[in-house]
């Protein structure tokens, strides 16, 4: 049978299905590691991209701001100068303040200016940073709001509209009078010179009184001789353009607007014909289905004419200003195209590098996780196998204990548990055998005597009845002891604690066992209390306490040879001698070997391994003593020297004030302290 056991065990272990990887500890560790690695790589890559992109955007923003300043300054120079001959001072100052190389060339790349000097051999890039042309402003570097309108002509390019000094003085005097009038009526305004030198009124606050404003500016300064001449020239050029397109000519105003009978139309790309038509024909009055068809057609014609006039005015302005502004020039700044702001785009090689590094990190993470997981799971598998063998009732070899970590401590705890379980199992087997023997002996005696009486072999005289009663009492004692232990184990042992005088209780127990002690030739005494106040008082169930002390006295009398002594005494212990009361039972018997002391309070344990009743009882007495002491919040201990005797001590709480003593308590209630029940005693 023993040879078949390992084979059966191997079959059972082979029959158990292995956990799937996704449910095993190794699989979960791998999943968590991969997730952590993936999140770490993704977070690192995202942070690197965001940081790099932010740095690039910041640097590009600074470069773009610097380039816009350079471009706008050179654009203003070109708008106010017919040639680039004297641009060197302006360009050199820009290069000095921006710390960048500035190169200006004609459209066919003939050099006009190079801040690096004529000795520079650095080649120019294929694409210019910008084209400096005041008649076609680059709105990327200069916002459209800073241009004259959709025609993209720099407002600083005024050409023949530039006023001479005498006309400027005359117009400024008129404008200053108007501003003084406005200020006198509480309207904040100031005089601002325009690009052509014509002054205009700049209102500091927008919420002005229109009536007061009209009163002060009623004297409108008309066009000067210079402006009339330039405006006539512009009108001629615009009319020629309109005639080529088959449209009627238009009379331009000084602000480059024209009158179509119901309002001014500007040449800045605005088309108010739709707005004016909407004002004449509001939607709530003229729904779309009732809108006159002829009005729709008229509005469409007006819009077409307005577009044509605006386009021709723009073309005429460029033609008029051509001789008054510098020719278009190519601008190179640091040899880069600074007008564009590219995003942070990864090249295929960089993308492949990032993917490769990510894959390498994941591979290393998975590899390390596999190695670490295997080392982690191996002892767990050993623990699982040992636990399964223990469940099957097979002997389990100790699990190897690894390094001092969580798994190693778990393995050590498992080995301790296995040893403790084996010891408990052995004790259980011994206990079952002892219980069977202890019950069988009195039952066998009772049965034997009864059968003898039934067969007429024994006379049921008083001695016969006394013998049967003795066996029945012994049997009842064993059953009562087992019942008490069972009740204490489940916490169902009822207690009735009350103040108990320790010396009085010891005297009662000594009187009860005086006869057996004298029969055994043992002197049983109670140590005389010290003179003074009454002896110590403890708080306990007097019946259960007498039972515990009686068991100790009975055990001491049995194990003390004739001529020996058993002494009972009580005393206070603890700080101030008021916390606990100790009940001590000492004897001069054979003592207990040191190896047996840890097992003294085990059930069915006896120093004398034989089952001779002359030297040992059922083996339950001391176990009951321990349970009764713990149930009442106390402890039981023993100190013994082999060949000299033993001292058993019960320590129980001292009696509190009478008002604090409850009438009745269970084991759990009696074990409760001031902060609640003791968790150890609750499990009794």
pLDDT in tens, 239-260: 888 888 888 888 888 878 876 5
Per residue in 590-627, pLDDT (tens digit) is 888 888 888 888 776 665 555 454 445 566 778 888 88
- Pair of tokens at residue 494: 């009822």
With b for 16 or more beta-carbon neighbours within 10 A and e for fewer, the 386-425 pattern comes to: beebbeeeeebeebebbeeeebeebbeebbeebeeeeeee
- C-alpha closest to that of 189 among 177, 500, 117, 489: 177
Counting every residue, how long is the chain?
A: 684
Per residue in 537-560, pLDDT (tens digit) is 888 888 888 888 988 998 899 889
- Pair of tokens at residue 191: 């005089």
On average, the pLDDT of the chain sits at 75
DSSP 597: G
- C-alpha closest to that of 309 among 250, 244, 255: 250
> Are 313 and 238 in contact, with CB atoms under 8 Å apart?
yes
Separation between Cα atoms, residue 598 and residue 596, nearest integer Å: 6
> Are 130 and 69 in contact, with CB atoms under 8 Å apart?
no
- C-alpha closest to that of 10 among 389, 382, 377, 383: 389
| Residue 568 pLDDT level (bands cut at 50, 70, 90) | very high
- Pair of tokens at residue 35: 């997730």
Separation between Cα atoms, residue 174 and residue 274, nearest integer Å: 37
pTM of structure? 0.42
- C-alpha closest to that of 109 among 335, 331, 336, 337: 331
Q: How many CB atoms lie within 10 A of CB 627?
A: 24
Separation between Cα atoms, residue 246 and residue 437, nearest integer Å: 135
> Are 135 and 329 in contact, with CB atoms under 8 Å apart?
no
HSE toward the beta carbon, residue 239, CA cutoff 13 A: 10
- Tell me which of 338 and 382 has the higher pLDDT: 382
Give the start-end residues of each E strand in 23-108: 102-106
| Residue 383 pLDDT level (bands cut at 50, 70, 90) | confident
In sequence order, the 6+-apart residues with CB closer than 8 A to the CB of 401 are 408, 411, 412, 415
Burial bucket for residue 286 (CB in 10 Å: 0-12, 13-18, 19+): middle
| Residue 220 pLDDT level (bands cut at 50, 70, 90) | low
> Are 97 and 173 in contact, with CB atoms under 8 Å apart?
no
> How big is the CA angle at 310 (ends 308 and 312), to the nearest 5 degrees?
65
In this predicted structure, what is the pLDDT of residue 174? 85
pLDDT for 374 beyond 60: yes
DSSP 645: E
């Amino acid at each position: 049978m023993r040879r078949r056991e390992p084979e059966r065990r191997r079959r059972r272990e082979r029959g158990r299905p292995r956990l799937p990887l996704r449910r095993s500890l190794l699989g979960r560790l791998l999943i968590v590691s991969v997730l952590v690695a993936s999140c770490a790589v993704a977070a690192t890559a995202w942070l690197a991209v965001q940081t790099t992109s932010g740095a690039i955007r910041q640097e590009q923003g600074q470069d773009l701001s610097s380039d816009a300043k350079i471009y706008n300054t050179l654009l203003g120079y070109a708008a106010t100068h017919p040639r680039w001959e004297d641009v060197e001072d302006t360009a050199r100052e820009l290069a000095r303040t921006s710390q960048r190389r500035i190169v200006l060339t004609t459209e066919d790349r003939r050099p006009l200016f190079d801040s690096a000097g004529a000795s520079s051999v650095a080649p120019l890039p294929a694409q210019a940073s910008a084209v400096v042309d005041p008649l076609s402003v680059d709105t990327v570097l200069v916002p459209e709001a800073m241009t004259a309108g959709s025609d993209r002509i720099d407002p600083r390019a005024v050409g023949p509209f530039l006023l001479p000094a005498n006309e400027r003085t005359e117009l400024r005097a008129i404008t200053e009078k108007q501003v003084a009038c406005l200020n006198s009526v509480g309207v904040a305004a100031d005089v601002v010179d325009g690009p052509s030198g014509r002054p205009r009124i700049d209102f500091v606050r927008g919420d002005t009184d229109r009536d007061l404003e009209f009163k002060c500016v009623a004297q409108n300064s008309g066009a000067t001789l210079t402006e009339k001449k330039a405006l006539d020239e512009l009108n001629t050029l615009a009319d020629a353009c309109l005639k080529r397109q088959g449209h009627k000519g238009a009379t331009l105003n000084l602000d480059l607007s024209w009158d179509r009978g119901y309002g001014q139309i500007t040449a800045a790309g605005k088309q108010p014909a739709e707005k004016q038509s909407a004002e004449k024909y509001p939607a709530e009055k003229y729904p779309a289905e009732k809108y006159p068809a002829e009005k729709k057609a008229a509005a469409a014609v007006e819009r077409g004419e307005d577009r044509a006039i605006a386009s021709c005015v723009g073309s005429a302005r460029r033609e008029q200003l051509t001789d008054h502004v510098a020719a278009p020039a190519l601008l190179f700044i640091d040899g880069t195209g600074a007008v564009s702001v590219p995003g942070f785009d990864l090249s295929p090689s960089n993308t492949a590098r990032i993917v490769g590094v990510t894959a390498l990190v994941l591979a290393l993470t998975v590899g390390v996780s596999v190695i670490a997981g295997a080392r982690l799971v191996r002892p767990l598998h050993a623990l699982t196998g040992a636990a399964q063998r223990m469940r099957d009732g097979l002997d389990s070899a100790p699990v190897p204990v690894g390094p001092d970590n969580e798994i190693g401590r778990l393995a050590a705890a498992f080995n301790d548990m296995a040893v403790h379980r084996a010891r408990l199992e052995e004790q259980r087997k011994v206990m079952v055998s002892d219980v069977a023997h202890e019950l069988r002996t009195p039952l066998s005696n009772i049965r034997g005597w009864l059968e003898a009486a039934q067969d007429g072999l024994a006379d049921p005289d008083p001695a016969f009845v006394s013998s049967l009663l003795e066996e029945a009492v012994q049997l009842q004692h064993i059953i009562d002891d087992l019942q008490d232990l069972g009740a204490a184990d489940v916490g169902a042992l009822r207690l009735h604690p009350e103040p108990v005088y320790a010396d009085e209780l010891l005297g009662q127990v000594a009187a009860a066992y005086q006869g057996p002690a004298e029969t055994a030739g043992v002197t049983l005494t109670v140590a005389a209390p010290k003179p003074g106040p009454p002896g110590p008082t403890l708080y306990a169930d007097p019946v259960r306490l007498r039972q515990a002390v009686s068991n100790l006295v009975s055990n001491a009398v049995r194990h003390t040879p004739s001529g020996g002594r058993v002494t009972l005494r009580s005393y206070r212990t603890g700080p101030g001698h008021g916390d606990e009361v100790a009940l001590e039972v000492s004897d001069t018997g054979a003592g207990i070997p040191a190896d047996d002391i840890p097992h003294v309070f085990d059930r069915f344990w006896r120093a004398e391994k034989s089952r001779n009743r002359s030297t040992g009882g059922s083996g339950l007495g001391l176990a009951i003593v321990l349970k009764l002491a713990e149930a009442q919040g106390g402890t039981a201990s023993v100190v013994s020297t082999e060949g000299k005797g033993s001292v058993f001590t019960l320590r129980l709480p001292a009696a509190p004030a009478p008002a604090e003593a409850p009438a009745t308590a269970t084991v759990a209630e009696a074990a409760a302290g001031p902060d609640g029940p003791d968790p150890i005693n609750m499990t009794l």
